[in-house]
Chain A
Amino acid sequence: MRKLHNILYVTHPDAYLSLDGENAVILEKDQEVKRIPLHNLEGIITFGYTGASPALMHHCAELGIALTFLSAHGRFLCRVEGEKHGNILLRKEQYRVSDDENRSLEAARYIVCGKLYNERAVLLRAMRDHSMQFDCEKISNAAERITRAITMTEKCLTLEELRGIEGEAANAYFGVFDLLILQNKNDFFWCGRTRRPPTDNVNALLSFCYSLLTHDCAAGLESAGLDSYAGFLHRDRPGRQSLALDLMEEFRAPMCDRFVLSIINTRQVNASGFLQKENSAVIMDDNTRRDVLVAWQKRKQEEIIHPFLGEKAEWGVLPLVQAQLLARYIRGDIDAYPPFLWR
């Protein structure tokens, strides 16, 4: 299994990234803060304003290091992309699948199936671990509804229908999401998904994690030779990384949702770290964002056995592994795309 390298997060607003030899050097007011050899890095995510030098962008693109710029609050701004690597034949085939409604449906079906399975797994796991603290009946009802949705995905005939099933399962899943929050109930509660901007603490955490995950999925797809913009379930829209969003579906529940729940339930975050702005948007303060990043990076280094390949892999390397499996499926090497199924 490929080794997962580290991701450099730059959270200081006035940090400037530059290149020196084979090092990324972080400067602040022309003072060197840190230098890190690039071969240790998988990606760089910066939340700053001052940006990065063209030389560094070029070198990152050359080495396949994903360099992503997010706004100070974690909203995606842009990503530096180099010359396309990989196989043109693979990418053309991907476009053909993406253009063909039936073939897109076929691929999307596996992805949605994986997503629903993982959502249910999160609920079942929570019930198993904390059966005393929950209203188990509601949760098992929701799990039941998701199970029905999974069987329905096999029969649906259009993408529209598939999205409907996905939405129904999401309703069931998010309908009981609040029950999974066990600590600090007054500050962390769930009353539905809000985004752009997120209007409560839990949504702010989720949105933040989703944008980190999008970065990882897009980087995984690009390095597997796929185009992260041409999706199957998500249709084309300028500037939207549809395939990255597709690939992300399988990981949302087991990676982001569980992560957010666990940092809330273990009280690694608390309400004082969140600020509400005039437009009711909720943002995290610098310390909280930092704590979340540290916890996220630690989570990504935990190892599990990949259910399909049977090999040990870090959580962080899973988007890449799935991207490679997806590439094999598109190429026709395997008959079906095996989504990541978390147990």
Chain B
Amino acid sequence: MMVLITYDVNTETAAGRKRLRQVAKQCVNFGQRVQNSVFECQVDAAKMREIEERLLKIINPELDSLRFYNLGNGYKTKIKHVGAKLSFDVSEPLII
């Protein structure tokens, strides 16, 4: 399934900026960065839990927010892209 992860991390303090870097790093590990704080992850349910766990350990729930949008398996009809920053689909043939 495709899960969209977006986040807002409060960067007023040094600790906040550290959290931002860590959250971003974990998101890059599992998904494709489609916009600055928006990631598309092609995962199964187990992997999704793992990502959630990892992110929840990092953030401060009082200051930061995380959103997970589950787009399911039929995600191709649900995404429309306009403009720069073309993404690619990791389930299509990957030939470089």
Contact = CB atoms under 8 A, between A and B. Distances in A.
Given A21-B25, A22-B30, A6 B94 contact: yes
A36 B93 contact: no
A242 B90 CA distance: 32
Interface string A294-331: 10011001000000000000000000000000000000
A8 B47 contact: no
B94 A36 contact: yes
Contacts of B35: none
Contact of B28 (A8, A21, A301): A21
Contacts of A36: 90, 94
Contact of B91 (A6, A12, A290, A294): A6
A7 B94 contact: yes
Interface string B35-50: 0000001111001000
A39 B96 CA distance: 18
A297 B92 CA distance: 8
Contacts of A39: 30, 43, 47
B31 interface: yes
B6 interface: no
Interface residues of B, number: 19
A11 interface: yes
Contacts of B44: 3
A293 B32 contact: no
Contact of A37 (B25, B41, B92): B41
Contacts of A37: 29-32, 41-42, 90
A298 B93 contact: yes
A15 B93 contact: no
A293 B41 CA distance: 24
A15 B95 CA distance: 12
Interface in B40-96: 41-44, 47, 88, 90-96
Contacts of A21: 25, 28-29
A184 interface: no
A26 interface: yes
Interface string A9-26: 111100100001111001
Contacts of A11: 95-96
A9 B95 contact: yes
A193 interface: no
A101 to B, nearest CB: 43
B96 A15 contact: yes
A10 B25 contact: no
A36 B32 CA distance: 7
A40 B42 contact: yes
Contacts of A15: 96
The residue among A15, A20, A21, A37 with the most chain B CB atoms within 10 A of its own CB is A37
Nearest to B50: A39
Given A21-B28, A23-B28, A34 B96 contact: yes
Given A21-B25, A39-B43, A301-B91, 8 more contacts: A10-B96, A34-B96, A35-B28, A36-B90, A39-B30, A297-B93, A297-B95, A298-B93
19 contacts: A3-B44, A6-B93, A7-B94, A9-B93, A10-B96, A11-B95, A12-B96, A15-B96, A22-B29, A23-B29, A33-B96, A37-B31, A37-B42, A39-B30, A40-B90, A293-B93, A294-B93, A294-B95, A297-B95
Interface of B: 25, 28-32, 41-44, 47, 88, 90-96
Interface of A: 3, 6-12, 15, 20-23, 26, 33-37, 39-40, 290, 293-294, 297-298, 301
